[in-house]
Amino acid sequence: MHVLVLGGTTEARALAESLHARGERVTTSLAGRVAAPRLPRGQVRIGGFGGAEGLAAWLREHQVDVLIDVTHPFAGTISFNAAHAANRAHVPLLALRRPGWIPVAGDDWHPVDSLAQAAERLPSLGRRVFLTTGRMGLACFAHLDDLWFLVRSVDPPEQPHPARMRVLLDRGPFTLDGERALLADHAVDVLVTKDSGAAATSPKLTAARDAGIPVVVVRRPPVPEDVPTVAGVEEALAWVTALG
Q: Give residue 164's pLDDT.
A: 97
Looking at residue 194, the DSSP 8-state letter turns out to be: E
Under a CB-based contact definition with an 8 Å cutoff, are residues 100 and 197 in contact?
A: yes
Look at the domain 2-99+221-243 and name its fold.
Rossmann fold (3.40.50)
- Characterise 137 by phi-psi region: left (phi > 0), alpha (psi -120 to 50), beta (else): left
Q: Do 15 and 5 meet the contact criterion of CB atoms below 8 Å apart?
A: yes
Task: Specify the CATH architecture of the domain 109-218.
Answer: 3-Layer(aba) Sandwich (3.40)
Boundaries of CATH 3.40.50.1000 in the chain? Answer: 109-218
pLDDT tens digits along 34-81: 666 778 889 999 999 999 999 999 999 999 999 999 999 998 799 999
User: DSSP for 41-77?
Assistant: SSEEEES--SHHHHHHHHHHHTT-SEEEE---TT-TT
Q: Which 3-state string (H, E, C) describes 211-230? A: HCCCEEEECCCCCCCCCCEE
DSSP character at residue 163: S
User: pTM (2 decimals)?
Assistant: 0.89
Residue 32 has pLDDT above 90, yes or no: no
pLDDT on residue 122: 97
In this predicted model, which residue has the larger pLDDT, 83 or 40?
Answer: 83
Q: What is the pLDDT of residues 184-214, one digit of tens each?
A: 999 999 999 999 997 777 999 999 999 999 9
